[in-house]
C-alpha cells in the first residue's frame, strides 16, 4: 500500500443518500479541507493530509428528500438512479422508506455486495422497516448492517466487507491512543491519536479538545460530553423506543467509553 487508503484492491463504495448526514460522512472520508471548522481560528489542521479515500468512492448520489416525495410511492423505481457503478459496498442514509425498501434488489442487480444503513434517527428507519430491508438483503445474499448510531459499527467475522470498511477506512466505533502527564498533583491528557474515527468525523474534534484536560472522572466526562455536543453529534435527541433513550446519548456513551479505555491502556 503506497498511500493510506489506496491500493490496487481497494474497497469501493457508493453512497445513495438524502439529507445532510450522508454528505457529512462523504466529506469526512474524502477529508475535505473546508469540512471541519469546529476549532475556528484555533485549528491546527490535525487531520488534513493524514488520509483521503476519495478514490474509493465510485459514486455519491443524492435522491429527493422525504419532504419532496409523496407519503406513499407506488413506483419507487421512478426516483431511483438509472444506473450505479458496481461496488463492494453501498452506504444509504436519509432515504424515503419506499426507496429504502427498493434498494436491496437494485443494489444486487448492480453488482453491489454489501449495504450499510446508519440509523441516526429511529423515525427514518423504524424497527419494522429495518427488518423488512434486512430480510430482502438476506434473500439476495447482500451483506447488511444497521448501526445505531453509525459510530457503533465494529468489525464482525460474519461481515467481511463491512469489516474491511471499518478496518481499511478507519471509521466506525472510535479508537484512540492517549498519553498523560503530571501537572502538579493532577494527571492531564498530554496528547491524543485517532486510530479510528466516528464516520461523521467527530472523534477528531473530541480528541483535540481533550488535550490538557484533567483525567479526574467528573472533569473528563464533562469535557467529552461538551466536545461531543459541540461538534455537533447529528443523532436524534428523541427517545428511541428500542433502547429507551436518545441515540445521541448512545453516541456520547461510546466516545466516553473509548476515551476511558484508551486511558487504561
| Residue 48: per-residue pLDDT | 87
pLDDT tens sequence across 184-227 = 999 999 999 999 999 999 999 999 999 999 999 999 999 999 99
Share of the chain above pLDDT 70, in %: 97
Helix (H) or strand (E) holding 249: helix 247-264
- Grid coordinates given for 98: 419506499
CB of 145 closer than 8 Å to CB of 153: yes
Three-state DSSP class for residue 93:
strand
Residue-wise pLDDT for 110-159, tens only, equals: 999 999 999 999 999 999 999 999 999 999 999 999 999 999 999 999 99
End-to-end CA distance of the chain: 28
The answer, yes or no, to whether residue 5 has pLDDT greater than 60, is no
DSSP string, 114-179: EEE---S-TTTS-HHHHHHHHHHHHHHT-EEE--SSGGG----TT-HHHHHHHHHHTBSS-EEEEE
Place of cell 463504495: 13
DSSP characters over 6-51: B-TT---EEEEE-SHHHHHHHHHHHT-TTT--TTGGG---SSTTT-
For residue 47, count other CB atoms closer than 10 A to its CB: 21
Backbone angles phi, psi at 175, to 5 degrees: -140, 125
Distance (Å, rounded) from C-alpha 232 to C-alpha 149? 14
pTM: 0.93
> What domains, with CATH codes, occur in the chain?
13-169 (3.40.50), 175-264 (3.30.390)
Amino acid at each position: 500500500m503506497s498511500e493510506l487508503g489506496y491500493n490496487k484492491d481497494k474497497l469501493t463504495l457508493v453512497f445513495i443518500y438524502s439529507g445532510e448526514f450522508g454528505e457529512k460522512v462523504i466529506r469526512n472520508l474524502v477529508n475535505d479541507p473546508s469540512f471541519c471548522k469546529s476549532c475556528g481560528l484555533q485549528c491546527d489542521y490535525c487531520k488534513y493530509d493524514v488520509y483521503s479515500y476519495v478514490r474509493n468512492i465510485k459514486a455519491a448520489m443524492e435522491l429527493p428528500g422525504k419532504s419532496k416525495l409523496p407519503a406513499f410511492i407506488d413506483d419507487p423505481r421512478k426516483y431511483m438512479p438509472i444506473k450505479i457503478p458496481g461496488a463492494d459496498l453501498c452506504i444509504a442514509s436519509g432515504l424515503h422508506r419506499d426507496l429504502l425498501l427498493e434498494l436491496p434488489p437494485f443494489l444486487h442487480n448492480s453488482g453491489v455486495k454489501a449495504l450499510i444503513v446508519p440509523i441516526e434517527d429511529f423515525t427514518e428507519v423504524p424497527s419494522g422497516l429495518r427488518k423488512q430491508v434486512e430480510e430482502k438483503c438476506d434473500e439476495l445474499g447482500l451483506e447488511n448492517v444497521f448501526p445505531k448510531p453509525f459510530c457503533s459499527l465494529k468489525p464482525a467475522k460474519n461481515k467481511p466487507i463491512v469489516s474491511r470498511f471499518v478496518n481499511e477506512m478507519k471509521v466506525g466505533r472510535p479508537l484512540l491512543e492517549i498519553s498523560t502527564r503530571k501537572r502538579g498533583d493532577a494527571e492531564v491528557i498530554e496528547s491524543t491519536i485517532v486510530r479510528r474515527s466516528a464516520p461523521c468525523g467527530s472523534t477528531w474534534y473530541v480528541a483535540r479538545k481533550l488535550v490538557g484536560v484533567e483525567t479526574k472522572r467528573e472533569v473528563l466526562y464533562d469535557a467529552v460530553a461538551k466536545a461531543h455536543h459541540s461538534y455537533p453529534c447529528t443523532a436524534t435527541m428523541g427517545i428511541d423506543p428500542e433502547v429507551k433513550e436518545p441515540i445521541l446519548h448512545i453516541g456520547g456513551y461510546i466516545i466516553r467509553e473509548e476515551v476511558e479505555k484508551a486511558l487504561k491502556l
